[in-house]
Structure 1
Amino acid sequence: MALVEINFDGIVGPSHNYAGLSPGNLAASANAGQVSHPRAAALEGIAKMRANLALGLTQGILPPHRRPDRAWLATLAADPEKADPWLRAAALSASPMWAANAATISPASDTADGRCHLTVANLQTMPHRSHEWPETLAQLRLAFAHPAFAVHRAIPPPFGDEGAANHMRLAPSHDAPGVEIFVHGVAGGGHPVRQHLEAGRAVARAHGLDPARTLHVAQSEAAIAAGAFHNDVVAVADRLTLFAHEQAFADPHALYAELRALLPEIAIVEVPAAAVPLADAIRSYLFNAQLVTLPTGEQALILPAEARETPSVWRWLEGMVAGNGPIRRIELVDVRQSMRNGGGPACLRLRVVCDPATVDPRFLVDAGRLDRIAAVIDRAWPDSIDPDMLASPDLWVSIERARATLLAELDLTALI
């Protein structure tokens, strides 16, 4: 069985809008009330996937969720046409596009039963995301129905779990036992803490992880207060490389010491605050990048274009690539519509290490399939959405029709 890393990108849904529903997410708050462009956003995501395929990476997709979520509104006894504006916006949120929050993944190499385990994130901290998990569960149970996988329901509230955005894995290879790191918040300096320690512990138990190779680490309050609402805004890992900001963790020295004891060959690339202030790192989403190993064995960092537009970040990156470190290549992608709502390249993908032959092929893509998806988006997705349009019954119907058209193209009408 050949294990590879598959990046499953969330397709940006036709309801993509800027309602500012996520306190602590500085970009989402700053752009609240602006006009969004769902078609452009979705096509940016498709272009990123095309670029990943060109790099030799294996690419998957997760389709948009049912929006508006009329069933969720019904549980609140809310009339869609008379509901409070924030409830309507929450029912229309396209946030499932950020697939890094869909689930936490442990590959077969790490688990007691030799299966790849996925636990769906409950996302209970934010109302607009709290109703995602049932549909995510349905998608993942369809995509990973093979006996090689175990797909778990969400951890129950009140323990907040935001998925792989707060989880990292380090290992010499995909088929070797790794070290899994669950990052939780303790205090947020006025911003909500979204990932709870007990949620990480529960996921680790459900996945049958070796406690000796499982670390539970606190994110620094300074990072959360500065707008790092998830760990993947300040740290990312791949193979034996940890790429992190100096202020990412509450006790980085203790973490690094544990990692070096478990993985003596680890490379820790720490960006000093003196070179890149935390605010610049978060604004540019320097760490909300895809750190990947290419088929050549070379490590590359797939970054948003905003990284080049932030002088301290670009200066540091140029110096890093010119040096002799593990990250040898920089790739830039344009995901500006997602960035304005607070999600960079890493937010848009869920990493699953598995044998591609065990995945439902409807969730895998090649260049031709991406062309067909792009054609549906180009003709069915709204060009723009003004916040004042969110109450329009015509908009709701057009969003539902667009999603149904895409699911038909993907042969996934069971999800309608």
Structure 2
Amino acid sequence: MLASRLWRSQIARSPLGAVRYHHIVPGQTHERVIFSGIQPTGIPHLGNYFGALANWVKLQRDAAPDDELLFSVVGWHALTLPQDPQALLAARTTMMALILAVGIDPKRSIVFHQDEVQNHTELAWILSCHTPIGKLKRMTTWKTRLAVSRNANDESEIDDSLLNAGLFTYPILQAADVLAYGTTHVPVGEDQQQHIELTRDIAETFNRAYPLPSPLLTLPKLMLTPSKRILSLRDASVKMSKSAIDPNSRIVLTDSADIIRARIRSATTDSIQGITYDPVERPGTSNLLTILAACTDEDVSTVAARYASKNHGALKADVTDAVIEAFKAPRAEFERLREETAYLQQIAEEGALKARQRSDAMLAAVRKRIGLS
């Protein structure tokens, strides 16, 4: 289980040798502080659901009583690419409804809009003054996001002249999102591993610059999500994306059973007899096995073994049934919640208040440490 005792946070020892508790709010200690966020840019697809939202629900379900969980709609990150203001406003509410619909309980977890807690941007600015440009240049995700936004087939087609400062420096904001709460564990996919490593580097740099009376910022641990990344149904060389031009390349949480059935039926596979899991030689077939394994919560090799003597038609039929079943309950709950705008606003306000209360202590300590208060 993701929330096994193996990840239990006790007392952390910094590289400088000082011992400190992970959470700095006076009178409060938590076994783990878990933070994760999702952008309000369109309805989540299969990859988003199994890579983030379903994993959040597992973390909440398996969390120890003293664990603190924070899940955020990260609106400021959405601004790194052009957005229609009215569409973004609606998407924020939609994402809040979806987070609740999949099973996140606001009475157990803190659910909030990142852009309603100013501590994130203040800390991001402070951290940006301690982050070398060279570290940011080594980040690869901005190239991927630019390529997708420009519908480019190759990241090499993208040059720095198209890069805005926000997209270049957003890993620092992501670091601030995490560090503002004394986060001990960050659940992410493999594509975000580099960003968590940067977050730890930034925290270490800050702690070295201001070591006394003891290191202040917690170095968060990476929690890799168990689901392998889910690829496009039409081009298994790229990830499934909400912004891809071809809508048949993805399945989103609100798709009807008929749409799901049609898109999986038309998913690209190969002409090789039998079913095997081979992401290099058989990416399309392997992608369907990955999706089925995510739906059934099994290891993909176990799933592949069951289909060794079957054909793609049987595999696609079972993948279709599994996806429809997995999406049935959260889709119905989302349809109900999306009309409850007053309730969604109340949850967002209460979550933002809790998030501010928890991050205020960290920001006060940071300001004092650097000489601004």
Q: Note whether the superposition's TM-score is higher than 0.5.
A: no
**Max radius of gyration: which structure?**
2
Structure with bigger strand share is 1
TM-score by length of 1: 0.28
The answer to which structure has the higher helix fraction is 2
Q: Could you tell me the TM-score, scaled by structure 2's length?
A: 0.31
